[in-house]
């Protein structure tokens, strides 16, 4: 069976820190927690309809990581007919971790980093589940 790579795509929303939380969480997974099993792709490139990006999201399971309820990553993956298998919204995770106050867009504060770490662990676990099902 063909081995898939899980494609993790954050919205990278730039107006608030929650977009940065999603982006940093993604890199924690793709660069450190599951570097061999995951990768990311430029959301804007995907939305522009670039053929390689479209092929990647259609042929591999995708996880959307959105900062807010507008869920731009999820919507853009769906619009690209990507294989969306899971979606995480930072505001939902923040609701479960009310003590954390993420701040900063250029650089997250310590609490923002903590929230990103929590989300990264969730994405890594989901990645394991997705790939386990393929075995």
Partner 1 sequence: MTLAKDKVGIICCSGEDFPEGTISRVATRLVLEKLRPDETVTLCLPLFLAGGEDERAFARVFPTIAVDGCGKKCAESGTRKFSGKPVATIVVSEIMKKYPKLKAKSRERLDTEEMELAMKVAEEIAEKVDEILCKKVTK
Q: Does 110 bind partner 1 (CB under 8 A)?
A: no
Q: CA-CA distance, 131 to 47, in Å (whole number)?
A: 26
Segment near partner 1 (CB under 8 A); pick from 65-73, 81-89, 90-98, 124-132: 65-73
Q: How many residues bind partner 1 (CB under 8 A)?
A: 32
Indicate which single residue of 35, 55, 58, 79 sits in contact with partner 1 (rule: CB under 8 A): 79
Q: Any idea which residue has 């927690």 for tokens?
A: 33
Strand order in the sheet with 6-10: 38-39, 6-10, 61-66, 83-89
List residues near partner 1 by CB under 8 A.
Answer: 9-15, 19, 23-24, 26-28, 31, 40-45, 47-48, 50, 70, 72-73, 75-76, 79, 105-107
């Amino acid at each position: 069976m063909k081995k898939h790579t899980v494609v993790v795509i954050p919205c990278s929303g730039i107006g608030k820190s929650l977009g940065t939380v999603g982006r940093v969480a993604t890199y924690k997974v793709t660069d450190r927690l599951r570097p061999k099993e995951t990768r990311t792709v430029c959301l804007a490139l995907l939305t522009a309809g670039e053929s390689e990006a479209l092929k990647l999201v259609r042929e591999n399971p995708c996880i959307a990581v959105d900062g807010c309820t507008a869920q731009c990553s999820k919507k853009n993956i769906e619009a690209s007919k990507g294989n969306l298998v899971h979606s995480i919204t930072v505001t939902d995770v923040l609701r479960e971790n009310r003590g954390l106050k993420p701040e900063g867009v250029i650089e997250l504060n310590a609490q923002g980093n903590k929230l990103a770490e929590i989300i990264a662990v969730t994405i890594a676990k989901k990645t394991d589940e997705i790939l386990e099902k393929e075995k």
